[in-house]
Amino acid sequence: MRRLATTNSLEALHYMRGMLQASGLFSKKKILEHKRYVIAGLANSGSINAYKILVTEVKRGFKDSSVASAAQRACEVLKQRLLIK
C-alpha cells in the first residue's frame, strides 16, 4: 500500500478511499487489516492528497476503534511531516 500511495495518482487514491469505506459481514478481520494497511500507506506517502483523504475519513468516522485511533495518529504524523517540508 505504501508504494501505491506514493504514486499520488487519482486512481490509487480513489482505490484507497474505497478500501477505507469498505464494510462487509464476512471476513471482518481481513477488512480491518486492509484498512490499517491503507492508513499506514497513506501516512507514509507524505502527500497533501493523502492527508485530505485521512482527515475526511476520520470525520466520517470508523466503526472499529482501533482503526479510528490509527487513522487519527496517521493524520497527526502526516500533518507534522507536511509542515516540516
77 pLDDT higher than 70:
yes
For 52, the grid coordinates are 485530505
pLDDT in tens, 7-61: 777 888 888 888 888 888 778 899 999 999 999 999 988 889 999 999 999 999 9
| Cα 10 from chain centre | 14
Write down the pLDDT at residue 58: 95
For 79, the grid coordinates are 500533518
For 38, the grid coordinates are 491503507
Domain ranges, residue 80: 2-84
The count of structural domains within the chain is: 1
2 pLDDT higher than 70:
no
